[in-house]
Amino acid sequence: GDSVTQMEGPVTLSEEAFLTINCTYTATGYPSLFWYVQYPGEGLQLLLKATKADDKGSNKGFEATYRKETTSFHLEKGSVQVSDSAVYFCALSAGTGANSKLTFGKGITLSVRP
Amino acid sequence: DSGVTQTPKHLITATGQRVTLRCSPRSGDLSVYWYQQSLDQGLQFLIQYYNGEERAKGNILERFSAQQFPDLHSELNLSSLELGDSALYFCASSVGIGLAGERVQFFGPGTRLTVL
């Protein structure tokens, strides 16, 4: 079945450091890929998405590129801020109709210290 | 604010009881999804509705049921509650279930269920 694998956490960085969070997936067909973020005590917010190979999603300085050849969708940010501290989830939607549900990775906690 | 609302925000109840969680999707969204978030299982898909009809089931227990009403709001019913049902329950909605852009899901703030 479909699955998403995220790198193990937690991750602790200093402010202005470069961030990479790895995400790889297994799916039949051509899934859409997403990064969601969960701030403490809140729900999930869509951070960015990509719906086909080589698409780059970007938002709030975060970027991720849909790499079909390596089945990856790694999240990057050039300079993190304390306010980026949150849990980040990589997810896929495998298809249409009954296959449109999201399959999530385990999530990774990012802490950014001043 | 995603536009998806969920009530109640917190729910504390005892084992064996029954509760109902409510979700109102974003205006114009036809599809509603329910997910459970727990420390041991992570985020798991439970069930999906589209325009009032059930479209997909995931890891949903037989003690759990859901429905989507004509006004498109949805309710998740959890019965014969056990300690292990304590979790955060999220509702998400999307415009549709066809084109990739329609399938983007927006999440509500969640209902935290505690079973004592």
Residue range B28-55: mean pLDDT, rounded: 94
pLDDT by residue for chain A (114 residues), tens only, comes to 899 999 888 999 999 999 999 999 999 878 999 999 999 888 999 999 999 999 999 999 999 999 999 999 999 999 999 999 999 999 999 887 777 899 999 999 999 999
> DSSP 3-state assignment of B38?
strand
Which candidate from A97, A98, A102 shows the least CB-CB separation from B105? A102
Of A48, A2, A45, the closest CA to residue A21 belongs to: A48
Cβ within 8 Å, pair A96-B103: yes
Any idea what DSSP says for residue B82?
-
**pLDDT at B40 > cutoff 90:** no
User: pLDDT tens digit string along B2-35?
Assistant: 899 999 999 999 999 999 999 999 999 999 999 9
**pLDDT at B68 > cutoff 90:** yes
pLDDT of residue A8: 84
**Chain A residues near residue B92 by CB distance under 8 angstroms:** 44, 102
pLDDT of residue A74: 98
**Chain B residues near residue A102 by CB distance under 8 angstroms:** 33, 35, 43, 45, 92, 105
Which candidate from A46, A96, A107 shows the least CB-CB separation from B97? A96
Which candidate from A49, A52, A97 shows the least CB-CB separation from B104? A49
Query: Per the omega criterion (within 30 degrees of 0), is the bond before B8 cis?
Result: yes
Cβ within 8 Å, pair A101-B2: no
> DSSP 3-state assignment of B100?
helix
The C-alpha angle with vertex A26 and arms to B32 and A51, in degrees rounded to 5, equals 55
User: pLDDT tens digit string along B84-108?
Assistant: 999 999 999 998 877 777 889 999 9
- Cβ-based interface (< 8 Å): residues of B facing A: 2, 31, 33, 35, 42-43, 45, 48, 50, 55-56, 58, 90, 92, 94, 97-101, 103-110
Query: Rounded CA gap, B84 and B35, in Å?
Result: 15
| Concatenated DSSP letters of B44-80 | EEEEEEETTEEEEE-S--TTEEEEE-TTS-EEEEE-S
Whole-Å CA distances, B37 to A36, A82, A98, B70: 14, 25, 21, 27
Of B42, B48, B79, B39, the closest CA to residue B61 belongs to: B79
Where are the strands (E) in A1-114, listed by range? 3-6, 11-14, 19-21, 23-26, 32-38, 44-50, 56-59, 62-65, 75-77, 86-93, 102-104, 108-113
Bin B97: left if φ > 0, else alpha if -120 < ψ < 50, else beta.
Answer: alpha
- Minimal CA separation from B33 to chain A, in Å: 7
- Sequence-distant (≥ 6) Cβ neighbours of residue B61 within 8 angstroms: none
Query: Rounded CA gap, A44 and B47, in Å?
Result: 18
- Cβ-based interface (< 8 Å): residues of A facing B: 32, 34, 36, 42-46, 49, 51-52, 89, 93, 96-107
**Chain B residues near residue A27 by CB distance under 8 angstroms:** none
Residue of A nearest to B58 (CA): A101
Tokens for B61? 């227990």
